[in-house]
Amino acid sequence: MIDLKNWYDGHLYAKFLDPSEKTLRSMVVERIAPETTVLDAACGTGSLVFELAERCGQVTGIDLSAKMIRYAELQKEKDRIQNARFVQGDLAGMSEPEQPGFDYVTAVLLFHEIPSPMRPVIMSRLKKQGRTLILADFRAPLPLNVDGLFNRIIEMSGGREHYRMLRSFLREGGLPGLVQMCGLTIRGAACDRTGNFIVLEVR
C-alpha cells in the first residue's frame, strides 16, 4: 500500500508550505523576547528556528522526521548560522529535566498531528522544558472560508489517518481545549486574519 504519511517532508514542505506559514511564524516570533533561549518542538524544515536565531541567544529545533532535520541542517550550513542546532527525536520520549532549560518552547502546527491520547503527554513534556509555551495551530472550529477549504485539502493529502487526527483535534477544542485539559493557563491569544490559525501564550 502507498504510504502517504509525511511524503512532503523536507524540500517539498520548504517550497510549498513554509511560504504559506509566514504570517503564523511572525505571530509567534513577536511573542519571544530578544536574547532568550528557545526550543522549537516539531521544527520541520527549521524555518522558525532560523527566524528566531536572528534575535535570540540560542535556538534548538527538534523533529521526528529525519528528512526534515536533514533539510534544516543543510540550510544551517549554507547560511552559516552559529546559534541554531537540530536534533532528530520523538517529543514523546524526551527526558524530563528538573528545571526548564529554555526560556520558551514553541510548537507550531504540531498538536493536530498527534494522536489524541498522546497530546497531554507531549504537552506536559514541553512544559517541563520551558518557562513559557508559544503554541500555534489550526483554530477550532476551522472556518469554512477559502483558506479553511485549502487547509482541509492540504491536510487530506497527508492521508486518512492524518486527517482523522486533525478532526479529533478540532472536535476536542483545538489548542484551548488541550491547554485547559492539561491544567495550564492561557496568558495571551491571537488569531490570524483568515481565522484559520490561533496562537496561544501558555504558562
Judged by the rule CB under 6 A, the positions of this chain that interact with ligand SAM are 21, 42-44, 47, 63-65, 68, 90-92, 108-110, 113-114
Question: Residue 92 CB, nearest distance to ligand SAM (Å)?
Answer: 5
Strand 84-88 to strand 102-108: parallel, antiparallel, or no bridges (unpaired)? unpaired
Question: Residue 5 CB, nearest distance to ligand SAM (Å)?
Answer: 10
Judged by beta carbon, residue 21 or residue 103, the one nearer ligand SAM is 21
Residue 53 in contact with residue 81, Cβ under 8 Å? yes
Question: Residue 176 CB, nearest distance to ligand SAM (Å)?
Answer: 19
The residue ranges of DSSP E strands in 23-101, in sequence order, are 37-41, 58-63, 84-88
Residue 2 in contact with residue 10, Cβ under 8 Å? no
Judged by beta carbon, residue 107 or residue 179, the one nearer ligand SAM is 107
Question: Residue 126 CB, nearest distance to ligand SAM (Å)?
Answer: 10
Question: Residue 36 CB, nearest distance to ligand SAM (Å)?
Answer: 19
Cα–Cα distance between 78 and 129 in angstroms, integer? 29
Cα–Cα distance between 178 and 16 in angstroms, integer? 29
Cα–Cα distance between 164 and 141 in angstroms, integer? 15
Cell of 56: 535570540
Judged by beta carbon, residue 161 or residue 185, the one nearer ligand SAM is 161
Question: Residue 47 CB, nearest distance to ligand SAM (Å)?
Answer: 6
Which residue's Cβ has the minimum distance to ligand SAM?
44
Judged by beta carbon, residue 92 or residue 149, the one nearer ligand SAM is 92
Judged by beta carbon, residue 110 or residue 185, the one nearer ligand SAM is 110
Contacts by residues 31-34 (CB-CB < 8 Å, ≥ 24 positions apart): 31/134, 31/188, 31/199, 31/201, 32/56, 32/104, 32/106, 32/134, 33/103
Judged by beta carbon, residue 103 or residue 169, the one nearer ligand SAM is 169
Cα–Cα distance between 153 and 163 in angstroms, integer? 9
